[in-house]
Structure 1
Amino acid sequence: MLFWIFLVGGLAARYAAGRRILGGALLLCVPLIDVVLLGATVLSIRDGAGPTVWHGLSAAYLGLTVVYGHRTVRWADARFARRFGGSSAPPRPSLHGRAAVVDAWKSWFRFLLAYAISVGLIFGLVVLAGTFDKGAPLLVWLNPLTKVLVYSLIWPIVTTIWPGKAPEQGTEQAPGQETAPEQETATGNG
């Protein structure tokens, strides 16, 4: 939750309020929140608190934000810059063919990295807890993370099989504009 509060607060300060230094400082706090969260989780378990599902959530969350946090900040920054800073909209990539396949696999491998970090942190917390019995609530997060990893593999496989074709040159039309059917030429039968 703090991730989003600092992200929106930093971007609002930067663009809506025109306070670039304050906005930059708030945005620099975004990755620090993850470190504080993990530190609090480790201290809590080390001090004898029984591991809970919420401790596991912090490990799963940290893996995702390490991989996707910077991309999320860049994406949100571009949207705020467009809305409040007068920047132009970023061009939308037109992915087809090989580029679509490469993009789909990069996306999946990016999630695989987030998964590996999350799972590593979860097992690290289990080791910190002492036994698998004590750390069982932490392991609950392996189920949804693994399901997302496996189900997200469908997209790159489908994209590899059917990568899509590039739009044909000159066939793009303005919205609402229809092509008139070709008129038949009348030939006289004499």
Structure 2
Amino acid sequence: MIVTLVVICEVGFWVLLAAGLALRYLAKMPRLGAAVLLCEPLLEVVLLVVTAIDLKNGAAPDWKHGLAAVYIGFTVALGHHTIKWVDARVAHRFAGGPPPVKPPKYGTARMVHEWRTAIRWIVAAVVAIGLLQAAIWYVGGDGDVGSLRMWQQKMLFAIGINVIIAGSYTLFPKKAPVAERERVRVER
């Protein structure tokens, strides 16, 4: 049941996003579109409540409960950014908005971009770890919480990967090709 609900929440996220943006840009109803987009967090609340009820009713904590916590963590930390990213592209395509800003390719600007991305993923992992820990405490010492601890380890691994990627852009910044550096130097 929990896995089905996670899938329903993911599909619901994209359906609400499409509906909200369609109302905003195609139907020219920006307030109603914004209201639909504001319903997105309700999906995570439903998933959290159902997962807690499932555990309260005696379900053995397993990978499905961990998946629910991870999904909620990632949606909390990355959902808003995803909505903004899609919104910019839909506004450009259907409402004459400016072209979406592309991420920087080189130097310090790229490093800052990578750290911002890493921080979003780290926040997602930390939220998931917190929810998993809350589930572990909720179940108590009587239940087998090994699968929840396994998810916590995976989230620590995700944090490490993101730090390594962002750190690599700090230690080894990507440089513009020589021709582009010359063009920028001449323009100044």
Larger displacement relative to structure 2 (13-22 or 23-32): 13-22
**Higher helix share goes to which structure?**
2
Match status 1:120 vs 2:133: no
The residue number in structure 2 matching 1:78 is 88
- Residue from 100, 118, 131 that aligns with 2:141: 131
- Residue from 7, 12, 24 that aligns with 2:17: 7
Quote the sequence identity (%).
36
Matches within 5 A, 1:53-68: 53-68=63-78
The residue number in structure 1 matching 2:4 is none
Secondary structure of 1:5 counterpart: helix
Give the whole-Å Cα distance in 2 for the aligned partners of 1:22 and 1:154: 42
The residue number in structure 2 matching 1:46 is 56
Give the whole-Å Cα distance in 2 for the aligned partners of 1:165 and 1:19: 44
Q: Structure 1-normalised TM-score?
A: 0.78
The structural deviation recorded for 1:58 is 1.4
Q: Is the 2:103–2:110 Cα contact (8 Å) retained in structure 1? A: no
With over 3 angstroms needed to count, the CA separation of the structure-2 counterparts of 1:96 and 1:171, relative to structure 1, is closer
Equivalenced residues, count: 172
Q: Which amino acid aligns with 1:118?
A: A
- RMSD between superposed Cα atoms in Å: 2.3
The residue number in structure 2 matching 1:104 is 114
Q: What 5-or-longer segments of structure 2 have no aligned partner?
A: 1-9
The residue number in structure 1 matching 2:7 is none
Match status 1:89 vs 2:99: yes
Q: Is the 1:63–1:115 Cα contact (8 Å) retained in structure 2? A: yes
- Residue from 18, 24, 35 that aligns with 2:34: 24
With over 3 angstroms needed to count, the CA separation of the structure-2 counterparts of 1:37 and 1:79, relative to structure 1, is same
The structural deviation recorded for 1:169 is 4.5
Q: Structure 2-normalised TM-score?
A: 0.79
Q: Is the 1:14–1:21 Cα contact (8 Å) retained in structure 2? A: yes
Secondary structure of 1:101 counterpart: helix
Q: Is the 1:63–1:116 Cα contact (8 Å) retained in structure 2? A: yes
Q: Which amino acid aligns with 1:170?
A: R
Q: Is the 2:125–2:158 Cα contact (8 Å) retained in structure 1? A: no
Larger displacement relative to structure 2 (114-123 or 139-148): 139-148
The structural deviation recorded for 1:171 is 6.9
- Rg comparison, structure with higher value: 1
Match status 1:170 vs 2:180: no
Give the whole-Å Cα distance in 1 for the aligned partners of 2:32 and 2:145: 41
The structural deviation recorded for 1:31 is 1.5
Give the whole-Å Cα distance in 2 for the aligned partners of 1:170 and 1:62: 46
Q: Is the 1:51–1:137 Cα contact (8 Å) retained in structure 2? A: yes
The structural deviation recorded for 1:154 is 2.6
Give the whole-Å Cα distance in 1 for the aligned partners of 2:110 and 2:30: 36
With over 3 angstroms needed to count, the CA separation of the structure-2 counterparts of 1:155 and 1:104, relative to structure 1, is same
With over 3 angstroms needed to count, the CA separation of the structure-2 counterparts of 1:51 and 1:92, relative to structure 1, is same
Q: Which amino acid aligns with 2:129?
A: V
